[in-house]
Amino acid sequence: MTILVLGGSGFIGPLVIRKLVERDQQVVSLDINPGAASFAEMGGQVEVLRGDVTQFEDVVKAVIEYRPERIINLAYLLGVGEGRPNFTMRLSVLGMDNCFEAVRLCGVKRVVYASPIAVSGPQKCFGDQPIDEDARAYGTSQYAVHKIVNEFHTKQYNQNYGMSITGIRPANVTGPDKVRGSTDHVQCITLPVQEEPVSFPHKSLMRLPIYVEDIAEAFVRVLLVDST
């Protein structure tokens, strides 16, 4: 089948695309910075496009032209801080809405996207007990609140249009080449290996690292099933 990957040139996208190609899928990668990753070794199985998910025309054009049976949206940007609310809202909220509406209009039923564990908020909101994805969301950062909106949108589209949209909430995705967002869990491994000192400015901060290869595999498995 043909699969459209939005944000295919980012941190997770290239690994997702490689795993899809290994499963003999045809992939179209759309990214505002397509040159950030190379898919030359994958031959004709990957088509690379330049496009901006905040522009509805870019998204719907790719869906109309390539007719994908599945779409995964990995178009987001961490590490921009709280000082650019317009930019982060356009990317995380408008970009996701453009994705959902384009696939609705074009008849694509299956969509998977990245939502963060940050939507849950701090553990202190729940006390000393485990929680699951049905627990109330207490996230307060821009990124977390925007993803809460995405998850609300997901329920609306699934209920109103019979679609199969699934958000996955990874923990802190880590890997040696991660340079944006939370990188302290990367540096505590990579810097000592390079015989450089490492500091922990936020001593009480807890991280839940998950290796990028593992979360890419999770995305692919969820994407290739009909529903979750």
Domains of the chain, by residue range, sit at 2-171+210-224
Task: Report the pLDDT value the prediction gives residue 102, as an integer from 0 to 100.
Answer: 96
- Residue 115 CA to residue 110 CA, distance in Å, equals 16
Task: Report the pLDDT value the prediction gives residue 80, as an integer from 0 to 100.
Answer: 55
Task: Report the pLDDT value the prediction gives residue 162, as an integer from 0 to 100.
Answer: 93
List, in order, residues 6 or more apart from 175 with CB less than 8 Å away.
11, 186, 211, 212, 213
Task: Report the pLDDT value the prediction gives residue 175, as an integer from 0 to 100.
Answer: 86
> Would you call 46 exposed, middle or buried from its count of C-beta atoms within 10 A (0-12, 13-18, 19+)?
buried
- Residue 3 CA to residue 64 CA, distance in Å, equals 13
- Residue 40 CA to residue 199 CA, distance in Å, equals 38
Alpha carbon 18 to chain centroid, angstroms: 16
User: Which residue matches tokens 């609140």?
Assistant: 145
* Contact criterion met (CB below 8 Å) for 53 and 91: yes
Express each pLDDT in 111-159 by its tens digit: 999 998 889 988 889 998 888 888 999 998 888 999 999 999 999 999 9
Angle (CA) 71-72-73 rounded to 5° is 120
Q: How far is CA 18 from CA 8, 88, 143, in A?
A: 10, 28, 27
Task: Report the pLDDT value the prediction gives residue 100, as an integer from 0 to 100.
Answer: 96
User: pLDDT in tens for each of the 228 residues of the chain?
Assistant: 999 999 998 889 999 999 999 999 999 999 999 888 888 888 889 999 999 999 999 999 999 999 999 999 999 876 555 677 888 889 899 999 999 999 999 999 899 999 988 899 888 899 988 888 889 999 988 889 999 999 999 999 999 999 999 999 998 888 888 877 677 788 888 889 999 998 877 777 777 889 999 999 999 999 999 888
Strand partners, 82: none
User: The pTM is what?
Assistant: 0.90
Task: Report the pLDDT value the prediction gives residue 82, as an integer from 0 to 100.
Answer: 66
Task: Report the pLDDT value the prediction gives residue 161, as an integer from 0 to 100.
Answer: 95
Task: Report the pLDDT value the prediction gives residue 79, as an integer from 0 to 100.
Answer: 57
Identify the CATH class of 2-171+210-224. Answer: alpha beta
